Structure 1
């Protein structure tokens, strides 16, 4: 096995609860590189009602890296207002160039400042932390990377302090964001509310204690239909023209004039709306099947140096999750944040609608993971007895 083949060699697991165990994760090779990015002052954009833009730019690093690596599998994770990933050393220059071009693009196209950092895994291990990964199969055709070890959180904190910075590219070509889209309507809660959950272990917490706490939270989510999955089994709704058409035009236009890209997408989405309105395939596109695969492939739960969930749940389950985490925080075992809203949001990377391996990132539609992470600092004051 080459170092490039490390991630492909990991067997995807269908047991999400099993990922609470440290043994489910494999450390990255020491010469691999970790990259991360996030939006500066994303809370101001959320307050201005631009969380769809925040989510889409957050996912842009993943789309750009998928295209830059031309199909080579690599571990990545979506965080709401940013993303993290890891690549083999032979792809370090590609990662650095992609992050640099993303920073310049976000500034020029949206007047949004994107932070970015890139550093070797060996530097993280020198701090006594690790970056370990697992592959979780959400369906037979799609899987997502899960991360443990504390290394990603440390790298993101260093990035926010200006460490390991990837500077803006000078006179760059726009990054290739083919496949990144945001056409679906927001998804209303069907059971009361959409709850964003972020839980991280305290540095002194043992793996066994965190596994127990995460398992308790997952057991509460398991009481919900489809484990609290916010996307209906037959997929989200679609309206024409889609609410994200202008945003998608900005994202995907490259060097094309914005008005021309809008016209192109208007025609494409008109055809998509017709196909989605039919109950049988149209021009080879099976819209009902695609929508079911969207739901099956969605990443509404993940391990990202901790546990993150986006749940469609009633107030009773919210209260039980808050009580469980409040008690764990009072015992000095975890930090946590909760944020509730009325809708969920889906951001998609779809290389081809004719294949089933498209991926979909789920977040709360009114701040989601970003707002939950902000409230995490106050979790020690939220102990529930």
Structure 2
């Protein structure tokens, strides 16, 4: 297998349960490079009511990488207040330029610092860690990468300690964030709680014991309505003007004015809102079909050196999940964080509304993964 085509050739699995089996993951090629980033002081930003902005910055990292390498498939995972990805070495320079441009954009547009760096897979393995990847088919039109082995977590820790990382691009540098959008309304829980859940292996825990705990949680969530999917089958809701219009204007304005960008998006979203309300089809675009595909394409569950889920959860299932996690933590198998809120929200990358390959990152609307991670940090 040519290393440059490694990810293209990975077999996609349609069973999320199968990801509890280490055999579902394939070792990352030694020559590849892992990109990691996270928002500086994200907990403070959330406390200041800027969680949607934090999500937008994290998604911008992925959007910029997609555009930098010409929409070629590559593995990535959205983490709420950051993102991780992997690329073959021939794309490393383009990846660095895109990351540094997003760092500059986040500073200039939102006064948000973004740590970012590229870590060779060789260095990860030299440190005694590993990184494997799987490709999960969320729907007919979208699939998402899953990481295991602890290598991404090691790279993130190395980034935060200053071993890796680089400075933002010079002032005036603008990333290509074509396709990045923020137009859907938050989705209220139908079962009682939107649960943001992070479950990570405890230090020294055997893979088999951790995977058994993860499998228990996945089985429980499967019993929820629609498997706990927080986005309704008909798709998320819309309103006009959309709540994320100004954030999207920051992403799309390039070197133009924020006002002009915002006015253009308002016009586009007004037309879309009318189509969603009336059910009309224009130029082959069906708003109802697009909304349904949006829900199916959403990444509400993932593996990223552990289990991450955003679930629409009832009180009974929530209590059962907590019981499993408390016991597993006491047994030295996991460390976990969870956060309960009333709504989920979505940040999107949509190359074209006429295709079904748009991707959608789901998180809790009141702090989500960042607040769950805060719970883990408080215990360490």
Shorter-normalised TM range: over 0.9
- Could you tell me which runs of 5 or more consecutive residues in structure 1 were left unpaired when the two chains were aligned: 381-385
- Residue of structure 2 in register with 1:3 after alignment: 3
Partner of 2:297: 297
What is residue 238 of structure 2 aligned with on the other side?
A: 238
1:342-361 to structure 2, matched below 5 A, reads: 342-361=342-361
Q: In 1, Cα distance between the equivalents of 2:196 and 2:162?
A: 28
User: Paired residue for 1:94?
Assistant: 94
How far is 1:281 from its partner?
1.6
User: TM-score when scaled to structure 2?
Assistant: 0.98
8 Å CA contact 2:188–2:344 kept in 1: the answer is yes
The residue number in structure 2 matching 1:105 is 105
1:220 equivalent to 2:213? Answer no
Task: Give the structure 1 partner of residue 189 of structure 2.
Answer: 189
Partner of residue 248, structure 1? 248
Counterpart for residue 338 of structure 2: 338
Could you list the per-position Cα deviations for residues 207-246 of structure 1 after superposition, in whole angstroms to 9, with x for gaps in the alignment? 2111110011111101101110000000111001111111
- Taking the aligned partners of 1:346 and 1:133, their CA distance within structure 2 comes to 24
- Does structure 1 retain, via aligned residues, the 8 Å contact 2:28–2:133? yes
1:161 CA drift (Å): 1.2
Instruction: Confirm or deny that 1:39 pairs with 2:31.
Output: no
Q: Please tell me whether residue 142 in structure 1 is matched to residue 148 in structure 2.
A: no
Report the Cα offset of residue 357 of structure 1: 0.4
* RMSD over equivalenced CA pairs, Å: 1.1
The correspondence of residues 62-211 of structure 1 with structure 2, limited to 5 A, is 62-211=62-211
Q: Please report how far the alpha carbon of residue 104 of structure 1 lies from its aligned counterpart in structure 2 after TM superposition.
A: 1.0
Matched, 1:262 2:262: yes
Deviation at 1:278, TM superposition (A): 2.3
* Contact 1:326–1:379 (Cα < 8 Å) also in 2: no
Give deviations 1:89-132, integer Å, cap 9, x for gaps.
00010111111111111111111101001110000001111111
The structural deviation recorded for 1:142 is 0.8
- Mapped to 1, the partners of 2:91 and 2:148 lie a distance apart of 22
Describe the superposition over 1:39-68 as per-residue Cα deviations: whole angstroms up to 9, x where unpaired.
Answer: 101111111111111111111000000011
Aligned residues: 380
Distance 1:176 1:103 in 2: 12
Q: Could you list the per-position Cα deviations for residues 246-297 of structure 1 after superposition, in whole angstroms to 9, with x for gaps in the alignment?
A: 1110111110111111111111111111111122422321110000100010
TM-score between both structures, scaled by the size of structure 1: 0.97
